[in-house]
Amino acid sequence: MNNKTPTDLFLSRLAKTGRRSLRSQLSVTAQLLEWPNEDVENLPFHQLNYAQIEAIKRQRLDDNKSARTINLMLFALKSIVKTGFLMGLVEDMQWRQVQAINRLSVNPSNRGKALVPASVNQLIDHCYQDKRLIGIRDTCMLALLLSTGLRRFELSHLTVDDIQLNDHLVIVKSGKGKKSRQQPLPLWTEQYISLWLEARQLDTGYLFNPVWVNFIKTDKRLSCAAIYQVVKARTLAATGIDISPHDLRRTYITELLNQKVDLSTASKLAGHANITTTQIYDKRNESVMRDAISLLDYKTPQPGST
């Protein structure tokens, strides 16, 4: 018999990283509601109605919280109410009213960075010069992040079997929202993958592992925290720029758009469920708009041509 609450059931369906951020939002919401300080999984968020959630939304606005933060909270609360409805614990009218609550409009973020192609080449070349096992591993990791836009947890959970070089694909089984997808691989990345697979030798297990001096711990996967530290250290050493793994994802999406890949295709390649999300990652500057407008020509008669 399933004794999960709607909150517990909703959170259990999320990836670990997503669960952590939404639990944090729910904890803040519980404080605003002056609910008992206990595990959020046991709290009755599914009982909240339209007026209560709108009041929480207004309170967060008054606290000068960003639209993205508030929308994340709304997503969690609306999803929990929906889960309660599907479990037979919420009336139809309450569910419909809650689903009618509007998200806040989000402007493109000024946060984060995107590397220019010259810096990408500098980073890969600098890391490639490190011929140790850890250097071969890190070069492969950076190449994969920059050529696929994978998220940290997606990279961390890749296995050797997920790499299909003959088909030029990476199979992402643990994507956001627990969705799987096939991620195309550009040819330039495959040489770095092949070098790491050759150095790793074992053709099973997690793709990226901890390296101790000259020993690869093939029975363990490299954690998300370790990937973060590798990216920060390698990019700072190579380029002098403080970059996070998510900035490499921004680099990937921005470069796709720079190379005239349409927004819909870029969104699919990034593993986004919504094109609006992809737009947030676009770090192109105003020169792109100037270049675009220079191409606008209706072939109208020029002054003095008649």
Q: 99 and 109 in contact (C-beta within 8 Å)? A: no
Active-site choice (60, 137, 249, 283): 249
Q: Active site includes 221?
A: no
Contacts of 32 by beta carbon, 8 Å cutoff, 6+ apart: 56, 59
Active-site choice (46, 57, 113, 151): 151
Q: Active site includes 46?
A: no
Q: Active site includes 281?
A: yes
Q: Active site includes 176?
A: yes
Distance, CA of 123 to CA of 117 (rounded, Å): 10
Active-site choice (128, 192, 252, 281): 281
Active-site choice (46, 78, 137, 246): 246
DSSP secondary-structure letter at 35? Answer: -
Q: 75 and 39 in contact (C-beta within 8 Å)? A: no
Active-site choice (137, 221, 234, 272): 272
Q: Which of 247, 223, 221 is nearest to 234 (CA)?
A: 247
Phi, psi of 192 (to 5 degrees): -75, -35
Distance, CA of 62 to CA of 71 (rounded, Å): 15
Q: Please give the distance of CA 232 from its chain centroid, rounded to a whole number.
A: 17
Query: Within 13 A of 79's CA, how many CA atoms are on the CB side?
Result: 17
Amino acid occupying residue 282: D
- 33: three-class secondary structure by DSSP: coil
Active-site choice (68, 176, 268, 284): 176
Q: Which two tokens stand for residue 177?
A: 């929202």
Q: Which of 269, 243, 264, 231 is nearest to 116 (CA)?
A: 243
Q: Active site includes 126?
A: no
Q: 211 and 134 in contact (C-beta within 8 Å)? A: yes
Q: Active site includes 249?
A: yes
Q: Which of 187, 184, 183, 209 is nearest to 196 (CA)?
A: 209
Active site residues: 151, 176, 246, 249, 272, 281
